[in-house]
Amino acid sequence: MSDITLTAVQQDTLLQLQNASQLFNRTQERLNTGKKVNGVVDDAVAYFRSTSLYDRTSALDTRKGNIDQSVSAVTAALNATSAVDGLLKQLKGVLEGARGAVLSQRVAATTQFKNIAKQLAQLVKDTTYQGLNILTATTATLSTQFSERTAATLVINGFNLVATGAGNTNSLFTGATGVFKADGSLNFSNVIFSGAGGTGVFGFSALNLTSAQTIGGVTIAVSRAEAIFSASDNRIDAAIAQNQAISASLGINVSILQARSTFTANYATTLSQGGDKLTLADLNTEAANSQALTLRQQIGIQSLSVSGQQNQSILNLLK
């Protein structure tokens, strides 16, 4: 039991000071952190709801990072198909240039054709992003999950543009037997091919459109030379069309990935803002509260001082 007796007014004033001090500390915490809900004790419902929103935002940010990496991987492949298109058109240009050219020009055209074709295969093989090349293997897959739902996943299957076997539907030269060799070079005789049951040739030098040409003991008539040029031109056109189809498929996938990336970023922002609405403090209001509470404390202290002076006056009268 206390041996100090306080008046009712003093006790009430002390209680008001204690309440003001607690409110002032809470206000200072809000000003320091910028949040009105800093823990479960502040508002359990708002705390757990905001935590759920912030956790989902963090998960979506991670997803967006993965999506952006997939965008880069597919964009790298898409850029490669664009370069391949240019090289294929160069092959077509060399082929058409060799048509009707003199022997020395056709010999040079053969070298140019083979060099371009070799670079074509090397370019495709160099299109690797973080160890994945979706242009050199049909078994390669790029799987991108957009959310925690397993259905929200985009799977991109690989292609093999430089397949060495026949009948590969993803190869640049679909259905052709051994167009690309294992070392990446191109088998000239399997590209420059009559397509009519005959065999290919090893160079444009054998294809003379002005008179029959005998190379290595084999005579090729003008009509057959023309047929080989025409069939080969069609084969390269088919390769260009095949590459453009693959490019279109990759382009659609890039568009899908970019759309999901943008959506994920916007969605994550919305969730984060929702969490902020539950937890963030109004700093203008809290600053005003801080000033008001400071004034209340000062008034309470002054009230205790006045009460003490009254007691002192009574004591002086009793002397």
Q: What are phi and psi of 141, to 5 degrees?
A: -135, 145
pLDDT confidence band for 1 (50 / 70 / 90)? very low
- Which tokens go with 14? 């002390």
Query: Residues 239-287: pLDDT tens digits?
Result: 999 999 999 999 999 999 999 999 999 999 999 888 877 776 655 665 6
| Phi-psi label, residue 216: left if phi above 0, alpha if psi -120 to 50, beta otherwise | left
What is d(CA 91, CA 232) in angstroms, rounded to the nearest whole number? 10
The torsion defined by the Cα of 215, 218, 223 and 224, in degrees rounded to 10, comes to -100
Q: Do residues 279 and 37 lie in contact, with contact meaning Cβ atoms separated by under 8 Å?
A: yes
Taking the C-alpha atoms of residue 232 and residue 239, their distance in angstroms, rounded to an integer, is: 11
- The count of residues in the chain is 319
pTM over 0.85: no
Instruction: Kindly report, residue by residue over 43-92, the tens digit of the pLDDT.
Output: 788 888 888 998 999 999 999 999 999 999 999 999 999 999 999 999 99
What fold characterizes domain 49-278?
A: f41 fragment of flagellin, N-terminal domain (1.20.1330)
Q: What is the DSSP letter of 132?
A: B
Contacts of 210 (CB under 8 A, 6+ apart): 100, 222
Express each pLDDT in 169-185 by its tens digit. 778 887 777 788 887 78
> Domain-by-domain residue ranges, the chain?
49-278
Q: CA–CA separation, 283 vs 35, rounded Å? A: 9
> In 3D, which of 229, 223, 235, 248 has the Cα closest to residue 186?
235
Separation of alpha carbons 183 and 204, rounded Å? 23
Categorize the per-residue pLDDT at 294 as very low, low, confident or very high, splitting at 50, 70 and 90. low
End-to-end Cα spacing for the chain: 28
